[in-house]
Amino acid sequence: MAQQPVISVRNLTRNYQLGEVTVRALRGVSFDVQPGEFISITGPSGSGKSTFMHLIGCLDKPTSGEYFLDGKDVAKASKDELALVRNQKIGFVFQGFNLLKRTTALDNVELPLLYNPKSGLKAADRHKKAMEVLAAVKMSDRHHHLPNQLSGGQQQRVAIARALVTNPSILLADEPTGALDTRTSVEVMGIFQRLNKELGITVMVITHEMDIAEYGTRFVRFRDGKVVVDQAITKRRNAEDELAALPPPEVDPEPAGAHAGGH
């Protein structure tokens, strides 16, 4: 591939000081991510996968090593510069959704745009952009709902829309299905697959479940702060087909009162 990698890290290390003891969470990781890849990262707890994720997400700075994001060296960026990078180049999806309480889906999705210091988007433009990404996750009809009026899967879709709203270079998802049941998990992974395929968005999913990992195109396994497996996924799962094969949901996934508020 002649394309410039989205992410390029070289000999990345991260040490923590716990009292007298130095914990070497990451012990030299070199890694490239090409645009359009769907990477599944797994590993037992303490393997360094979360630390790696935090470094890739610019929430943390490496002890040593190089990190180029979209060709830009961010390993030694200042705190404010990192905040800007997080705002514009990275979309986070969390296990616990982390939507703001008592705030509509639309307002939640717009939030990253408010922290964009140079966009200067008008309120109308922000709404338009947020509605676009809500449509991309098929949530536009629920844009006025509050998080507690949405099911877990719907909340996670709003969270994905929020991650997408700034057109990031990469979508980072940390255990995105950890709080969801099987069917909803497949739904959410289907959204990631669709965004990856149709819009060419680069996705990196951290999970400890092997079957979730199999929705990706590339499989990476961490152990003791190092990459021990890095291979293409040959037997890739397709969420859309699986969803069609699954029996229809027994109960309405929409919680009671979803229509009580909102409009």
Partner 1 sequence: MSIFMTLRIALKALGRNKMRTALTMLGMIIGVAAVIAMVALGSGAQAQIEEQIKQSGTNLIMVMPGNFSSGGVRMGGGNAVTLKTEDATALRDVPGVQYVSATTQTRVQVVAGNQNWSTNVQGVDVDFPNIRLWTVKFGSWFGDQDVRGASKVIVLGSSVANTLFGEGVDPTGQIIRVKNQPFTVVGVMGPKGQSSTGQDQDDTAFAPYTTIMKKLSGNQNIGGISVSTASADDVLEATEKVKQVLRERHKIGPGMEDDFTARTLEDMAATRTEMTRTMTSLLASIAGVSLLVGGIGIMNIMLVSVTERTREIGLRLAIGARGRDVLLQFLVEAVVISMFGGGIGIGLGYGLSWAVRTFMEWPALVPLNSVFVAVGFAAIVGVFFGFYPARKAASLDPIEALRFE
Q: Which letter does DSSP use for residue 65 in this model? A: E
Least distance CB 49 / partner 1 (angstroms): 14
Determine the 3-state secondary structure of 123 from DSSP: helix
- Residues binding partner 1: number (CB under 8 A): 27
Least distance CB 97 / partner 1 (angstroms): 10
Contact 37, 217 (CB under 8 A): yes
Least distance CB 32 / partner 1 (angstroms): 24
Does 122 participate in binding partner 1 (rule CB under 8 A)?
no
Contact 176, 41 (CB under 8 A): no
Which residues 10-29 are close enough to bind partner 1 by CB under 8 A?
none
Does 148 participate in binding partner 1 (rule CB under 8 A)?
no
Q: Which letter does DSSP use for residue 149 in this model? A: G
Which one among 4, 22, 115, 199 touches partner 1, defined by CB under 8 A?
A: 115
Which one among 10, 35, 94, 138 touches partner 1, defined by CB under 8 A?
A: 94
CB within 8 A of 47, min separation 6: which ones? 222, 223, 224, 225
Least distance CB 87 / partner 1 (angstroms): 2
* Coarse DSSP helix, strand, coil percentages of the chain, rounded to the nearest 5 percent: 35, 25, 40
Contact 205, 152 (CB under 8 A): no
**Which residues of this chain interact with partner 1, rule CB under 8 A?**
54, 57, 59-60, 79-80, 83-84, 86-88, 92, 94, 96, 98, 100-103, 111-112, 114-117, 162, 166
